[in-house]
Structure 1
Amino acid sequence: MSTLLRLATAGSVDDGKSTLVGRLLYDSKSVLTDQLAAVERVSRDRGLEQADLALLTDGLRAEREQGITIDVAYRYFATTRRSFILADCPGHVQYTRNTVTGASTADVVVLLVDARKGVLEQTRRHLAVASLLRVPHVIVAINKIDLVGFDAQVHADVTAQIEGLAGGLGLADVRTVPVSALEGDNVVDRSDRTPWYDGPSLLELLEEIPAASLPEEHGFRLPVQLTIRPQAAAREEQHRDYRGYAGQIASGVVRVGDPVVVLPSGRRTTVAGIDTADGELTEAFAPRSVTLRLADDLDVARGDVIAAADDAPVPTQDVNATVCWLSDKTLRPGSRVLLKHTTRTVQAVVRDVTGCLDLDTARSVPAETLGLNDIGQVQLRLAAPVAAEEYVDNPRTGAFLLIDAQDGGTLAAGMVGEPLEEARFPGRRPSQYSI
């Protein structure tokens, strides 16, 4: 089992995410003395009788003044069994884009539900995001269980709702834990106030869950960021003909002598050398940044992808994808955007919007446009080919961004492929828009 786990917290407004994270840090002895002193001081200034543990994560002044989390706060902590990278995501529907960011690299999402309110629209939205991003594990912390008298039936009812939604979204591993973030029940230590619950505490679950597959387990992919040639003044005789292709390995392992292909041109060669700031290597794996030297003199530029020759993706100009729409602007067929895939940015046009996720039914329904925070399926036509893969096969090369060509703002986060089977509507034909 990997000793490092990446987790993200999510939930609706006032579900107690920041308090839960603060309790997790505090009870696991991961808070420095001066940090705790600062929190206690601010809590006293607010007239509180005990430390407000939410302040351990709500670090921005604007957040404190509003009493809500508005940005993704990253925290690092460790127990004797494991190290954690935690992304505390905002709960307000306006900040769904931040949740997408926080969950995109997570091994597990901890989703909070207020025991008094049950499953809300934002709960459904966050479960859908977890499904689309292929987060392998979801833990639903049914919080504020103390405010419903530690009622076992409340926990059972919310669990039934969650299991129904998870089944519709294809989430395979979803577990529920009754907790009180404010009082610490079942967060780090098991509580004797929930005798009807015989499962592990939240932290125990986090210590047991296996991490996701490592990037090197996928095929080798290196999106080229820069072609390196010696500057004229620095060219020595032995480096006169040096040409290297620098970038961060997105996935897989590369070794000297490996056959590779440069995409989208399709030219084949072998790896002649692997250079780093620390010297030459015989092999390198994701996510290391390296410079590759190739055996043949090929035309390679920023945005190209150097891939393993035996399982290279086929470049395409037609992309079917699921997108989380993050802009106030409406997406409709004919919209012209920029698509950023790894280090390559190309012009694109939306040929069709084929569906939108209905959060009440967890199914995709026909749609003609997408608005802020909608999750839907689109067909894109690109001005130039990209080496895109299905997100389910390789998340690093199956993800992309849609960008506003006018102001450079991010419009959507996208995943190649159609993970929701209901997205297909046989009776519809794609609109005839082209670049």
Structure 2
Amino acid sequence: MSAVLQPTEQVADHRALRFLTAGSVDDGKSTLIGRLLFDSQAILADQLQNLEKRAAGAPVDLSLLTDGLEAEREQGITIDVAYRYFATRSRKFIIADAPGHEQYTRNMVTAAAGSDAAVVLVDITKIDWKSGAPVQLLPQTRRHALLAHLLRVPSIVFAVNKLDAVDDPARAFRATEAALQAFAAEAGITTVAATIPVSALRGDNVTVPLDAPWYRGPSLLQLLERLPTTQERTEGSLLQPVQYVARDEAEAGQSAQGAGHQPRVFWGRIAHGSVQAGDAVQVFPSGETAVVAAVRRAGSTVASAQAGESAGIVLDRQLDISRGDWIASPGGLQPAQRFTATLAWLDTEPAVVGRKYWVRHGNRWVQARIGAIAHRLDIHNLQPVGAETLQVNEIGDVTIELQQPLPVEPYASNRVGGALIVVDPASNRTSGALLVRSAG
């Protein structure tokens, strides 16, 4: 039986894959990561000895490899995002173990924002697959899949876990796979790479393919080795947020601006497009224009740089540019003071129309208010529901009004230009994540 919900083109991509694991509490996320680390021999000898000592002759608890906080070990849950690294012969991996508890959904949003893939675990022991009725997925499974979809994670993998704990794994997997297919179709999630049966505890189908007549698909690791990384848009106009401004002492006195002059280098990670010497650029918010005199990468002058790369831009004339500004192709920026967006609310204090917040776009902070809440999304039936506020972990469509215009872009076309965070000015808590739908 094929595990693939939506076929994806298998490409040769050997760059490091950043992926997160998500799901409900006790679905086995930390154990799955521990199994990947253990089977790929990415565990240090002293780590393994400590785990064996704690086990005192019992099977080693692999979840302890990621649950590093004392409170996590005491409660048996993941609280903060834990990052781990491992490699196979063909690829390197960066894993983010996101908390499953609803209280820590904000951590999952943080991990998903920079991920190339999301592995959403489904605990087969928590759902009723025997009744013959359609399987009802857990709310956190639906929520995490929706958030990964909204945050434009390029590939989503559903891992049906703990199949070693059921008496009919083939039937249980097929019923759950059908429910996940129906959910993905209803939610419009087209980035599902596969649904895979696993047993993180026993190691079934994690790194070695499952030897069962009812499944002929890849193991989880085989699939991860073939998934593509995020491809930023390199064609079209340039967009680069300025993160850091430095003076280049090595080039002092050699610039076209005169002896003794120390060129200023404007560093940042290019959001889209490319840049090379001789390109005309425009700065936001001043609107001033200049010509690129040189492009730097890792301290050296290079011919060009493109989207996804961190680069330093040297201009042919002095301009007042600081952290938080944007450098773009002339006419490429369309500043807006009002836009509609999807808002994932993460604060225990509800989102209220008219209340002022701080929003961060790139490296610029601006005061803003929620002008209107169009509706919230009911994660159970995926239908919009009228709402006057958004409670913690709810997702809704809102209108945002800014004190100063920002060069926002639709999140669907660019993850950098279309993403903002919302911060409560009183508590300084990160209150929400904004994904721009349209500006103006």
Q: Within 2, Cα distance between the matches of 1:241 and 1:18?
A: 50
1:59 is matched with 68
User: What pairs with 1:3-402 in structure 2 (closer than 5 Å)?
Assistant: 3=14, 4-44=16-56, 49-118=58-127, 119-174=137-192, 175-192=194-211, 194-214=212-232, 216=234, 219-228=237-246, 238-240=259-261, 242-275=263-296, 278-309=299-330, 312-402=332-422
TM-score by length of 1: 0.89
2:13 is matched with 2
Equivalent AA in structure 2 for residue 385 of structure 1: P
CA distances 1:376-409 after superposition (whole Å, capped 9, x unpaired):
1110110111111111111011111111122322
Mean Cα deviation higher: 16-25 or 250-259: 250-259
- Gaps (5+ residues) in structure 2? 1-11, 128-136
2:9 is matched with none
Equivalent AA in structure 1 for residue 103 of structure 2: Q
Equivalent AA in structure 2 for residue 396 of structure 1: V
Q: 1:277 to 1:359 in 2, by over 3 A?
A: closer
Shift of 1:65: 1.2
Q: 1:105 to 1:11 in 2, by over 3 A?
A: same
Mean Cα deviation higher: 398-407 or 285-294: 285-294
Shift of 1:144: 0.7
Mean Cα deviation higher: 129-138 or 270-279: 270-279
Shift of 1:37: 1.4
Task: State whether residues 218 and 394 of structure 1, in contact with CA within 8 Å, keep that contact through their aligned partners in structure 2.
Answer: no
Q: Number of matched residues? A: 411
Shift of 1:303: 2.1
Q: 1:219 to 1:92 in 2, by over 3 A?
A: farther
Q: 1:226 to 1:130 in 2, by over 3 A?
A: closer
CA distances 1:77-115 after superposition (whole Å, capped 9, x unpaired):
111121111101110000100111111111111111111
Q: Within 2, Cα distance between the matches of 1:276 and 1:82?
A: 24
Q: Within 2, Cα distance between the matches of 1:217 and 1:93?
A: 39
Q: 1:189 to 1:65 in 2, by over 3 A?
A: same
TM-score by length of 2: 0.88
Equivalent AA in structure 2 for residue 178 of structure 1: P
Residue 352 of structure 1 aligns to a residue whose secondary structure is strand
Residue 402 of structure 1 aligns to a residue whose secondary structure is strand
Q: 1:26 to 1:304 in 2, by over 3 A?
A: same
Equivalent AA in structure 2 for residue 133 of structure 1: L
CA distances 1:155-193 after superposition (whole Å, capped 9, x unpaired):
11111111111112221132211111111111111222x
Residue 340 of structure 1 aligns to a residue whose secondary structure is strand
Mean Cα deviation higher: 126-135 or 295-304: 295-304
Task: State whether residues 232 and 308 of structure 2, in contact with CA within 8 Å, keep that contact through their aligned partners in structure 1.
Answer: no
Mean Cα deviation higher: 286-295 or 133-142: 286-295
Q: Within 1, Cα distance between the matches of 2:337 and 2:431?
A: 20
Q: Within 2, Cα distance between the matches of 1:37 and 1:230?
A: 49
- Gaps (5+ residues) in structure 1? 419-435
Residue 358 of structure 2 aligns to a residue whose secondary structure is strand
Residue 161 of structure 1 aligns to a residue whose secondary structure is helix
Task: State whether residues 9 and 111 of structure 1, in contact with CA within 8 Å, keep that contact through their aligned partners in structure 2.
Answer: yes
